Each structure stands twice: as C-alpha cells, then as structure tokens.
Chains A and B, each alone.
Chain A
C-alpha cells in the first residue's frame, strides 16, 4: 500500500475517532458517578446544531465549539433535574432526551441546511509533523484532536489520582455510603452529568464545525449511541475508550481502505456504511458474554436512582 494512502488513512481514522473519544470520555465520567445518561445522541445533535449556528453567526469556530459545550451541558442539566431531583427513571429519561434532542436539532437546523462554514485548517506542529507516515497523522491535526488527548490525560489523572475523583468513584459505587459519610451525592452527580453533557455537545460541535463543516439533519448518525457502547466495551477504563474510539474511527472510514487497497470490488456503499453499527453489536456481544466482566467493572450503583432521605 502506498505510503501516502496509509498516512491519509491514519489521519482520517484519528479524526473520525475524535468525536467518539470526547463524547465517550464525558459519558464515562458521568457513569463513574453512577448516572446512566442514554441521551448522548440527542446531546450530540443539539451540540452540533448549536455549534454550527454559533460558528455561522459569529464567524468563529472556537465560539462554535464553546456553544456546543454549553448546549450539551444545558441538555444534561434537564436530564439531571428529571433523574436526580425528580427521581424519574434514568433509562426512560435518557431515551426521551435522545428523541427530543434529535428532533430539536432537526427543527433548529432547518434554516442552516444549505449554509456552509469555512474549512478550519489543521494545527500543524513543526518538526514532529515531518516524521514519515505517522507524523502528519499525529501532529498535523485539528486543535480539537490534541485537546482530546489532553482531555484523556486530564480525566485519567482526575479519576485515579485526585481526591475529588476518588470521591466521585465512591459515589458511583455506593451513594448511600457516600451520603452517610457526608458527601453531597446529588451535587456530585449533577456536576458529573453536566460534564458528560458538555463533552457530548463538544463532540457534536466537532462534527458540524470541523469535521464536515455543514449541517444535515441526522448527521450525528448514531455516534452518540456508539459512544455509549464504547464505554461499556471499554469496561469503564479511559485507555480502552481511546483505543476503541480509534478502532471505530477506522471502521467508519472503511471506504478509504477499500480504495487504498486498489481492489476493484463492487461493494454497495450501504454495506460499508453499516459496518460501524455491525461492529458495535459485535463488540457488545464480546464484552457482555461473561456476566462478571460487567459486574466487576461497572459502577455498582449505575442507573439506580438515589433517594436522599430514606
């Protein structure tokens, strides 16, 4: 295979995996606190339209990214109110958020359907980007790609090396025990949920402002759900989220593989497009087969509502 084709595959893989990393890491933090937010798809959709609209109005891609984060955090706040304060069922509320978010984004996005944004050039790191083959893939990328790596490092440090992260994990393990020691369980869960929402919104904004700078209804195309599956597949460990996201990124750009291999096979585009979804099903099966894998690694209180004054 031609070197330059390999490079472009690597570049594309990393870019394709980035929104997944951002959204999945955010959801990981939320779930580590014991909250299951199935609204990721809706949050990403709203983040995408908010980001696009802001970038379009203001002319600044950065403002677009921030708007995406804010929109995601607000959506997550609504979810938090429903599930943490009003104690509604977390699964139903998350589904509601997804359905509503996708619908809201479609509605808000109508005026922008034929709008375009200027393409944001990648941020090149001198010297390192000249390394053959992998240089451009790792060091000539969008700023958000570098940010996603920083996010990964930050979350690892936070969860496993900081006291606040320890408290968050304790809350996810046993909110009743954390409460009886005196930690503000609900407040911690709100913060974790809103962080997850902000990350989901950022991931969505990445899609519409940086990845393909335009807006199409349904452009999130299930990435939110895939991010959720990714957290399970990674057994709630950030390193595995990173690896898994890039694997999925690779699957998503499989058309490049086909072209790059030079083969002259007639593969219907729909089949290639279905690969990420098939891959998600397969990884879910693989990771869930052994009941204990999930039981040992998932936060013990995941998905269960917590009633403060029992």
Chain B
C-alpha cells in the first residue's frame, strides 16, 4: 500500500516554515549515518562537526565571519530567483569583485585615505555587477540561457584570477607563490570585535538583508519581479518589463557577490590568491533556497551553512576526514529541502480508493 501525493486545496503555511527545519533535521540524521558509514562514532562525529566550531567566542565569531559573504550573495541572488532569473554564476561575480576591489587596493597601495575602503566596496560591487551584466545582456538581447552563460563565466573568472596572480599581479617578493602583495592596513576592513577576525563586512551584510527585505516585500519593483517569477504571462499582461526584471535580478546578485568578494580579500585573506572563491558562490545558492528566498531565512541559513563549512574543518583536524565532507552535507541539505518543500503543496495520502 504505497502512499500517494495529493494536492492540497491551499498551500500549508505550517509546512512553509517547517520544511527548512525538517530538511535540517534530515541532514543531521543523514550526517549521523555518514559518520557511522565511515567508521566513526556517530555521536562523536556529531559533536565534533556541529558543536566543535561553537565552543568559544572565537569560534562563534568565525561562524559569523564565514556567514557574512553567504548572506550578502544569497540576498542578492534571491532577488533574481524570485523572478525566475537564475544567476548561477555568483562564484564568478564574487571573483571579479575581489579582483576589482583588490585592484583598487593594489593600485593605491600606501594611500592612507579614508576613501580607500569605500572605493574598494564600490569597485567590488561594480566588478561583480559587470560580470553579471554579461548574462543579462545576452539574455535580453539574444535569449541566451542565463544559467549556462553565467556558469561559463565562472570558469573564465577563475582563469582570469589565476592568470593575474601567476603573472601581472604576482608579488615580486612573494617567493614565486601565486598571490598578490598583502594589502596595506588602510585597505583592510576594520575589525568589529578585538581578538577575532569578524570585520565590518558583517555590517554591510546586515544592511543588505534589510535593503533586500524592503525591496522584495514593500516595493512595487519587487512585486513586479515576483509576478514575473510566478506567472510570466501575467507579467506581460500587466505590462511589467521583462528586460528590467532580468537586469535587476542579475545585477543585484552580481553586485552583492562582488562586495562579498571584496570583503574576503580585504578581510581575512588580506590579498588575492587563486583560491579566493572557496565555493561561496555555489553555497550561497543553497543558502538562498534553504532561507526560502527571504532575508530572515537567509540570515539563519547562512549561519547554518557556515557551521557546515567550519564543521568540515573540525572533522579534518579531529576525525581525519577530508574537509570536503562539508560539501556533502551542503548538497544533502539542499536535496532534503527540495524534498520537504513538496509537502507545502501536497500531502501524503495512504492509498485506499474506495471507502
């Protein structure tokens, strides 16, 4: 007697809030199973992975530090995702933001101006936005699928930064390592808490969340984008410009990703290297979904995702597991969320046709 899926007359509000929690619970359960399968004590694994990172103030500050770029990127992406504009290339836009922001820092190295950091932020935003403008242009002018174009640009962006740090921007005093010079102090983001690495980018992220909330829930442009995402024909009927939706959706994600990239090189990294991106662009996609494309949800989902990153590092140190186990958890979380989301609009019915 297999259960069937039956459409609900109305989507369930309870499930809308419960499904991310259900997904998290399932991921935790899945995690226990994975630890067991790898020959580790599941509870030990759970403790090291999920609780280990939070054991002291420094750990918690690292959590917020890692969550910051995720919040920034995810809120930008969610603007587009709501409108069915699929910006999958945030990773590349992040890199271009790092290049642009870092480029400003390197060009004006030694400058003590207070304007340097704001200029870097702006440069980062512009860099990311320009990289996102390419798929926007190609989609509005030529109908080219934005998923594939923005993705191809990720690979190209990785190659660009690789060329830069191996070539023109390589630190001459860097022992031939592929990295730029370290940025001067005036080009680094100020710290928020002494003794931690948590910096002002976190404030920027909170600001972005707020701006995102106002835009999506209260502005007419945000409404237009929601309509475009839910019913394309209705958006056309209402006269909402499809081109404006596409540009807004892609540029929002690009600019935010660019700022996040700049925040990383002007923050914990202090320079540009080949590994500037660390998969944040893709992790942010997961954050956007798990956070239900909603700034408040994104805030919490970013923290969760950051925990998964840090957990991987702890697992490497204390459990001798590769740190890429984080990616397994992250992917699992997204899968479970997509599965749990089904129950917002459908419910399980145990088969029994006749009374």
A residues within 8 Å of B by Cβ? Answer: 38, 78, 82, 85-89, 91-93, 95-96, 99-104, 106-107, 110, 217, 221-222, 225, 228-229, 232, 268, 270-271, 273-274, 277-278, 280-281, 284-285, 288-289, 291, 294, 307
Contacts and interface: CB of A to CB of B under 8 A. Distances in A.
Given A87-B342, A285-B142, A102 B155 contact: no
B228 to A, nearest CB: 15
Interface stretch (B54-62, B238-246, B324-332): B324-332
A222 B338 contact: no
Contact of A99 (B86, B322, B330): B330
B304 interface: no
A7 B282 CA distance: 41
A82 to B, nearest CB: 6
A278 B154 CA distance: 11
Contact of A225 (B86, B152, B325, B331): B152
A78 B346 CA distance: 19
A286 to B, nearest CB: 8
B149 interface: yes
Given A104-B327, A107-B325, 9 more contacts: A78-B335, A86-B339, A87-B346, A92-B338, A106-B324, A106-B327, A271-B159, A274-B155, A277-B155
Given A106-B324, A107-B325, A107-B327, A100 B335 contact: yes
A192 to B, nearest CB: 20
Contacts, number: 127
B98 interface: no
Contacts of A270: 159-160, 162-163, 166
23 contacts: A86-B5, A88-B339, A99-B327, A100-B332, A103-B324, A103-B326, A103-B327, A103-B330, A106-B324, A110-B324, A221-B155, A229-B145, A268-B163, A268-B167, A270-B160, A270-B166, A274-B159, A280-B152, A281-B149, A285-B142, A289-B142, A289-B143, A294-B143
Contacts of B325: 107
B191 interface: no
B285 interface: yes
B341 interface: yes
B36 interface: no
Q: Sort A-B residue pairs by CB-CB distance and give the 10 closest, nearest first.
A: A103-B327, A100-B331, A110-B322, A288-B143, A270-B163, A270-B159, A277-B152, A106-B324, A86-B342, A96-B334
B148 A284 contact: yes
Contacts of B159: 270-271, 273-274
Contacts of B289: 92
A254 B255 CA distance: 34
Interface string B319-355: 0001011111011101100110110001000000000
B341 A88 contact: yes
Interface of B: 5, 7, 86, 88, 138, 142-145, 147-149, 151-153, 155-156, 159-160, 162-163, 166-167, 282, 285-286, 289, 322, 324-328, 330-332, 334-335, 338-339, 341-342, 346
A289 B155 CA distance: 23
B334 A100 contact: yes
A126 to B, nearest CB: 41
A280 B138 CA distance: 13
B324 A285 contact: no
Contacts of B335: 78, 82, 96, 100
A278 B138 CA distance: 13
Contacts of B148: 225, 228-229, 232, 280-281, 284
Contacts of B330: 99-100, 103
Interface centre among A222, A268, A284, A307 (most CB of B within 10 A): A284
A289 B141 CA distance: 8
B143 A291 contact: yes
Contact of A88 (B143, B160, B163, B342): B342
Contacts of A102: 327
A104 B346 contact: no
Contacts of A78: 335
Contacts of B149: 281, 284
A284 B5 contact: no
Nearest to B162: A270
B285 A91 contact: no
Contact of B331 (A99, A281, A284, A285): A99
A263 to B, nearest CB: 20
Contacts of A232: 145, 148
Given A87-B5, A95-B285, A284-B145, A274 B156 contact: yes
